[in-house]
Amino acid sequence: MALHYINGEFTKGSGTSTIDVLDPASEKVLDTVPRGTGEDAEAACKAAKTAFNSWKRTPANVRANLMHEAAAKMRAHKEKIVHLLTLEEGKPVPENEEEFEWVTNTFDYYAELGRHERGRVLPSGEYSQLNLVIKEPFGVALCIIPWNYPLLLMAWKVAPALAAGNTVIIKPSELTPLSTLYLAEHCFDHFPAGVINVLNGVGKDVAEPLVLHPDVPVIAFTGSLATGQRIASLAAPMMKKLHLELGGKDAFVIAEDADPDLAARALSYAALTNAGQVCTSTERVYLPRSKALQFTEALVAHVNSLRLGPGIEASTDMGPMIGSTYREKVEGHVAEAVSKGAKVLTGGRRPQQLERGYYYEPTVITNVNHSMLIMREETFGPAIPIMEYDSFDQAIELANDCIYGLGACLLTGDPMKAKIFLEEVKAGTIWINDPLTDNYAGPFGGMKLSGGARELGQEGLDEFRETKHVHWEFSTTPKSWWYPYGK
């Protein structure tokens, strides 16, 4: 049984209940982890708070070397980490190899960025003064990680938090804790005790006590809007620093000049990577009415060529979904759309040839509109709903007609359309001709109900630092404007 990692040691904790971790491709139990309690949360918090006192004073060069060492250890364990990711999360090995590269490089990136600067010097009002802006760590950062990218989204939070001088408590998803615990055992063991802690369990048992804990000033969370709103409501009275990335309903607009075959490949990748279980997955597609038939035929042909199966198999293009509840949500969205007149062109069912596992066929559906759940709510599965537009201005209006604003894609060779799109669409990331590609130095995050947090880049580091202004007068003589005013 895998255990909690608290204060540099593995422990069963105080609870008696356990959680089975399943392989979504076979529904078999991979391992069990202890179901943490409020007492375990308190122990993790105490360890992280105690470690912070020395970690914040650790020279940036030393912190950087420790982070580089973590990345090096991960690379030494690459085969095992990728294998474990594939088993517990389900996506194909090539996608997990990409996730692995992001994790190691994120640690290396923030190791260097963390020792680059700590603030800035301002022009002073007087020659005898010095004005400084100092950026300081908050303290203990609670990092609540989702199951769809259990290591990547951990690294995007933990690496900048550590580089800034914070200590961390990682709460992995109860669905995918094993790869994170493996890192704790083999790749984080050289950090001082208490700097990195991993706490298993469900949110209400361990995350909520930490959200409410007075010694946890920062909560970094990626997940659903409803959970993010719950965290915000609990943390608001204490005015905590919230770092919330709350999902999306990303639009993909295809312009008239786009090549149908290229569009089919780009769109399939954007919508079906990780079986559509990505916060930036394409979940709404807008095609020009004049060429809709060409585009849909090319898309259906390409989707039908994809191979569905266990992620561990080399021939697999798309793996299973993470669990039955998530698959049922996709089925509900498709069924509701069909009941309102939508048409399924391919997919729309569980594959008959795969008896076990949480599989759902990649689905292309047309004749949709914004009254349907599949165009309004986050589906988070392998569905590609297509709506036609008559003008590019209308396409932009449709793209903006959403409560979320995480990302948006455009496929075009027309620079004027690209300029209009990047300026008018309300989303945190705009992809033009290269969907779902990120940059270590480019901030990632959303607008509107997707949340205002930013990960990666300088902005990702600053999310875990608070700003202090220092006004230093070297002279000790009284100022002319001090009391008394009367002469």
For 4, the 3-state DSSP assignment is strand
Please, which residues have CB within 8 angstroms of residue 230's CB and are 6 or more apart in sequence? Answer: none
d(CA 213, CA 217): 8
39 is catalytic: no
Q: Closest Cα partner for 1 from 30, 41, 38? A: 30
Catalytic one of 245, 378, 455, 463: 245
Q: Is 406 within 8 Å of 304 (Cβ atoms)? A: no
Consecutive H or E run containing 473: strand 465-473
Can you tell me which residue has the tokens 């190691």? 104
Q: Output Rg (C-alpha) for the chain, integer angstroms.
A: 24
Ordered DSSP codes for 144-159:
E--SSSTTHHHHHHHH
Q: Is 36 within 8 Å of 200 (Cβ atoms)? A: yes
d(CA 209, CA 125): 46
Q: Which structure tokens are listed for 335?
A: 């069924």
Burial of 281 (0-12, 13-18, 19+ CB in 10 A): buried
* Cis check: omega of the bond before 123, within 30 degrees of 0: no
Q: Is 383 within 8 Å of 226 (Cβ atoms)? A: no
Catalytic one of 279, 388, 409, 455: 279
Burial profile 54-86: b = 16 or more Cβ within 10 angstroms, e = fewer: ebbeeebeebbebbebbbebbeebeeebbebbb
245 is catalytic: yes
d(CA 81, CA 437): 23
Write out the catalytic residue numbers: 245, 279
